[in-house]
């Protein structure tokens, strides 16, 4: 399996490079441009902004800009010969006036250096590290909630096919799939936050100087966003699990286990569940990156300080380095998610061998 994982990681390199090319081209076609994002004064003349674009290198051919973004501005030397980088970068104030130059310091994304945020004036990698913890906390909890509730509901719906529980779970699954995430989040805030006052309406914890003081604060602030993000997964997983379990329950080895007198709970949750989980492993691959895309809406509604809200703010503020970094991060997570699905196939089904 180790060779298989290594081979898949090597094969992922062209995919990730393709993602960088597409994301760079899309951002290059966006209206406004980095010069407009760097200057906050609307009175800056158009000629001054054009001169700023020229000095920053944004008027260079797209292949040159892409390679500069990929390899950075730091010198790349081989045997004492500078192959790339080493140029001086002009420095501008918020009115677009050039105030000096500095040596190129960007190492490029190949060195995990995504440059500086145009809005926050901080290294992008530092912002990602600061916000990643909140998104992992929210997404992982929502995924655990979806799997821990959706899978048992799907199994029970299959073994009690046609019962009131089965019909009710199917109706609720369709309902939660149909309800938009933003509407569900706003309704939860309105009911449990404003009307009942039982749960906080936003943020990761109370806004105090000390930050999150107790575990109870964190848990209470997690309830509404986790439920908003997790209900969709409960609905999807319960339907997939029901269909998969119904197919497994019709197999001969299940009837043999029942004929031997094994308890129904052992037949359902041990013998049938393992084979029924194979289609669920397929869902887990796209589930991991989709948590980041779903967190964009959820984190914005609940003012959750994570990567989803950061990417939304970066798009609104035309923070090009931040947007490019988030897109590339999403691509890497997607590749790793599908690799995890393939590994789970072999762990769940011993007939599958990864060579």
What is the percent of the chain where pLDDT is above 70?
A: 82
Residues 179 and 104 in one domain: no
Q: What is the pLDDT of residues 113-143, one digit of tens each?
A: 888 887 888 888 999 998 988 898 898 899 8
Residues 82 and 140 in one domain: no
Q: CB-based contacts of 318: which residues, under 8 Å, 6+ apart?
A: 30, 32, 34, 36, 37, 118
Residues 154 and 68 in one domain: no
Residues 163 and 298 in one domain: yes
Helix (H) or strand (E) segment spanning residue 235: helix 215-249
**Does residue 262 form part of some domain?**
yes
Residues 64 and 40 in one domain: yes
pLDDT at 4: 76
Q: What is the pLDDT of residues 240-285, one digit of tens each?
A: 999 999 998 888 888 888 888 888 888 888 788 878 888 787 787 7
Q: What is the mean pLDDT of residues 53-73?
A: 79
The span from the CA of 87 to the CA of 104, in Å, is 6
Residue 167 pLDDT > 90: yes
The enclosing domain of 159 has a CATH number of 1.10.3720.10
Q: What is the pLDDT of residues 301-346, one digit of tens each?
A: 998 989 989 988 888 887 888 888 888 888 888 888 888 887 877 7
Q: What is the pTM of this model?
A: 0.81
The span from the CA of 241 to the CA of 283, in Å, is 11
pLDDT at 260: 85
Range of the domain at 268: 124-348
Q: What is the pLDDT of residues 39-62, one digit of tens each?
A: 656 667 777 777 777 776 777 788
Residue 11's pLDDT band (cuts 50, 70, 90): confident
Residues 201 and 283 in one domain: yes
**Does residue 353 form part of some domain?**
no
pLDDT at 102: 65
Residues 99 and 132 in one domain: no
Residues 166 and 219 in one domain: yes
Residues 35 and 183 in one domain: no
Buried b (16+ CB within 10 A) or exposed e, 219-229: eebbebbbbbb
Residue 90 pLDDT > 90: no
Residues 151 and 197 in one domain: yes
Residues 137 and 101 in one domain: no
The span from the CA of 277 to the CA of 350, in Å, is 13
Using a 10 angstrom Cβ sphere, with 0-12 exposed, 13-18 middle and 19 or more buried, the burial of residue 80 is: exposed
- Most confident residue range from 24-33, 43-52, 221-230, 269-278: 221-230
Q: What is the DSSP string of 154-214?
A: HHHHHHTTTSHHHHHHHHHHHHHHHS-HHHHHHHHIIIIIIIS--S--SSSS---TT---S
**Does residue 21 form part of some domain?**
no
- Strands 88-92 vs 98-103: parallel, antiparallel or unpaired: antiparallel
**Does residue 301 form part of some domain?**
yes
Residues 46 and 141 in one domain: no
The span from the CA of 57 to the CA of 52, in Å, is 9
More confident call, 27 vs 107: 27
């Amino acid at each position: 399996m180790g060779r298989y994982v290594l081979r898949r990681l090597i094969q992922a390199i062209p995919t990730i490079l393709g993602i960088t090319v597409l994301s760079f081209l899309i951002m290059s076609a966006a209206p406004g441009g980095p010069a407009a994002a760097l200057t906050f004064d609307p009175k800056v003349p158009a000629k001054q902004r054009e001169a700023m674009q020229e000095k920053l290198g944004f008027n260079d051919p797209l292949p040159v800009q892409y390679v500069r973004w990929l390899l950075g501005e730091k010198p790349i030397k081989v045997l004492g010969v500078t192959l790339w980088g080493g140029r001086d970068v002009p420095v501008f104030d918020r009115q677009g006036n050039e105030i000096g130059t500095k040596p190129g310091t960007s190492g490029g994304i190949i060195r995990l250096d995504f440059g500086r945020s145009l809005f926050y004036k901080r290294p992008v990698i530092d912002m990602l590290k600061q916000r990643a913890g909140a998104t992992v906390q929210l997404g992982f909890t929502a995924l655990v909630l979806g799997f821990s509730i959706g899978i048992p509901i799907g199994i029970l719906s299959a073994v009690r096919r046609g019962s009131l529980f089965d019909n009710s779970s199917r109706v609720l699954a369709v309902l939660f799939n149909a309800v938009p995430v933003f509407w569900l989040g706003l309704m939860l805030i309105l009911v449990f936050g404003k009307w009942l006052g039982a749960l906080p309406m936003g943020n990761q914890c109370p806004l105090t100087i000390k930050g999150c003081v107790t575990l109870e604060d964190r848990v209470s602030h997690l309830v509404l966003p986790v439920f908003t993000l997790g209900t969709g997964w409960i609905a999807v997983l319960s339907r997939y699990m029901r269909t998969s379990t119904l197919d497994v329950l019709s197999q001969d080895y299940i009837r043999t286990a029942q004929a031997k007198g094994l308890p129904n709970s052992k037949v359902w949750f041990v013998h049938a569940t393992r084979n029924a989980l194979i289609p669920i492993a397929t869902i887990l691959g796209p589930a991991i990156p989709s948590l980041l895309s779903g967190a964009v809406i959820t984190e914005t509604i609940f003012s959750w300080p994570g990567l989803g809200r950061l990417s939304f703010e970066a798009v609104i503020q035309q923070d090009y380095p931040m947007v490019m970094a988030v897109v590339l991060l999403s691509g890497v997570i997607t590749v790793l998610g599908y690799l995890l699905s393939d590994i789970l196939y072999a762990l769940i089904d011993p007939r599958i061998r990864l060579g």
